[in-house]
Structure 1
Amino acid sequence: MIDLSACKPFASGYNRHCYLHPQDPALCLKVLRPENIEARFQRQAWPKKALGRDRINDNHQEIRAHRQQALRTLISRGREDLIWAHLPRFYGTVETSLGTANVSEFLANADGTPAQTLEHYLRQRGFDQRAQAAVERFCSWLLETGILTRNLLPHNLVIADRRGQPELFLVDGLGAPSVPNRLAAVPAWRKRYITRRIRRFYLRIDWETGDRDRSWAESQKL
């Protein structure tokens, strides 16, 4: 049991807190925020409620996402390094004083501080040449590996320095819903799915760096 009672999260989303492992600062511990999970569950319509709370458990979803066919294929071919080119290394789960945590690589800047999100980078510097090149490399990696994701959102990606250049890492949103995940066995369908995610990603970047005169929900309808 890892005691997190004296620790503060270095980052938080709506569904999870992220902590540095108190015994190993190279690791990140993702812990659920049960009060928000319950609130999210209660807002759902009854047909979705009938599917249970597990479907909105981000830790369980992340574990399943790491078992997707594309990752299993790359591992079987001895190409694990390609997986971790744009994903933080994943080490399973561990029990903490705040519940079960998913354990992954802690992505840091050269000074040891947490790597910033793409969202934060875009607000500070805009979609500059370095960011554009990093996004292009990330999208090419998606197409090369066939790894499935949900919609690519700038706050779910961080920028970390690798070999003297910025690289994007997907820290949340890995995996696809169950139906697309099954259809991904068809190469043409998988490529189409990933291409649509990439196209939507660029639209989101345009919105993030624009004047935001419309909400993201409204912008998607244009």
Structure 2
Amino acid sequence: MIDLSQQEPFAAGYNRFCYIHPEDPRRCLKILNPENIERRFARQRWYKKMLGKSRINDNLQEQIAYDQPAVIHGGEKVWSHLPRFYGQAPTTRGPANSSELITNSNGAPGITLESYLKRHGVNGCIRTAIDDFCRWLRETGILTRNLLPHNLVVVTREDHLKLYLVDGLGAPGIPARLAALPAYRQRYIERKIRRFWKRVEWEANGRQGAWEAAEKI
């Protein structure tokens, strides 16, 4: 049992809290916010509630996402932009997903792409990093949900910026048989990349107007 009673999360999203592993600072522990799970489930339509709470359990969905063939059979290249995953670990705050903590060369945790864009906009350095990340998606065939800037972390490695996908891995709505088809998978990835660039520009421009309108341009 990992004792987190004396720790505060170093990052928090709507659905999960992130802690640094007290016995291994190279690892991140992601723990569900149970109150948000209940609120999300309560908002579901009746027919979706019949599917149970597992579909909105981000830790479980992440475990499933890491089991996709492109991750399992992708070799070392997979970890160029994705944290290594170490499975589930028991903690005093509940079960956690244990994964690699993404840090800068100096050991400090990276910031989200969302935070970076607010501070610097789409400069040449981050554009190169995004291009590199998108090239990796195409080459590995890894499936993701919509690519959102708050789900990617920016770090400095060897004097250049690099992106890591720390949340939003997997495509639970895509049947396995379709995901296995190379042509379908590549079309799916290209759609995600095009949408991602629109989101990046929208965030960098101060979120002017509604996102629903911006993504249709």
TM-score by length of 2: 0.96
In the other structure, the counterpart of 1:205 is 200
**Rounded Cα–Cα distance in structure 2 between residues aligned with 1:89 and 1:16:** 18
- Which residue, 166, 170, 183 being the options, matches 2:161? 166
Q: SS of 1:158's equivalent? A: strand
List structure 1 segments (4+ residues) > 3 angstroms apart after TM superposition.
none
Note closer, same or farther for the CA distance 1:97–1:131 as it changes in structure 2 (3 Å cut): same
**Rounded Cα–Cα distance in structure 1 between residues aligned with 2:40 and 2:172:** 18
How many residue pairs get matched? 217
In the other structure, the counterpart of 2:96 is 101
Q: SS of 1:96's equivalent? A: coil
1:115 equivalenced with 2:100 (yes/no):
no
- Which residue, 128, 137, 146 being the options, matches 1:133? 128
1:182 equivalenced with 2:174 (yes/no):
no
Query: How far is the alpha carbon of 1:211 from its aligned partner?
Result: 4.3
**Rounded Cα–Cα distance in structure 1 between residues aligned with 2:175 and 2:184:** 9
What are the superposed Cα offsets for residues 9-62 of structure 1, whole Å, 9 maximum, x if unpaired? Answer: 000001100000011111100000000111011011111111000000000000
Whether the aligned pair in 1 keeps the contact of 2:16 and 2:30 (CA below 8 Å) is: yes
Whether the aligned pair in 2 keeps the contact of 1:148 and 1:175 (CA below 8 Å) is: yes
Whether the aligned pair in 1 keeps the contact of 2:155 and 2:163 (CA below 8 Å) is: yes
In the other structure, the counterpart of 1:22 is 22
Query: How far is the alpha carbon of 1:161 from its aligned partner?
Result: 2.1
Note closer, same or farther for the CA distance 1:96–1:214 as it changes in structure 2 (3 Å cut): same
In the other structure, the counterpart of 1:194 is 189
**Rounded Cα–Cα distance in structure 2 between residues aligned with 1:215 and 1:185:** 35
In the other structure, the counterpart of 1:69 is 69
**Rounded Cα–Cα distance in structure 2 between residues aligned with 1:177 and 1:94:** 23
| Aligned ranges 1:147-166 → 2 under 5 Å | 147-166=142-161
Q: SS of 2:51's equivalent? A: coil
TM-score by length of 1: 0.94
Q: SS of 1:127's equivalent? A: coil
**Rounded Cα–Cα distance in structure 2 between residues aligned with 1:205 and 1:178:** 24
Q: SS of 1:25's equivalent? A: coil
Query: How far is the alpha carbon of 1:5 from its aligned partner?
Result: 1.1
Query: How far is the alpha carbon of 1:202 from its aligned partner?
Result: 0.3
In the other structure, the counterpart of 1:56 is 56
List alignment gaps of at least 5 residues for structure 2: none
In the other structure, the counterpart of 2:141 is 146
Identity of paired residues, percent? 56
Q: SS of 2:17's equivalent? A: strand
Query: How far is the alpha carbon of 1:181 from its aligned partner?
Result: 4.2
Note closer, same or farther for the CA distance 1:42–1:181 as it changes in structure 2 (3 Å cut): same
**Rounded Cα–Cα distance in structure 1 between residues aligned with 2:188 and 2:215:** 17
Query: How far is the alpha carbon of 1:148 from its aligned partner?
Result: 0.3
Query: How far is the alpha carbon of 1:162 from its aligned partner?
Result: 2.5
Worse-superposed segment, 19-28 or 110-119: 110-119
Q: SS of 2:97's equivalent? A: strand
Query: How far is the alpha carbon of 1:215 from its aligned partner?
Result: 1.5
Whether the aligned pair in 2 keeps the contact of 1:148 and 1:181 (CA below 8 Å) is: no
Query: How far is the alpha carbon of 1:113 from its aligned partner?
Result: 2.5
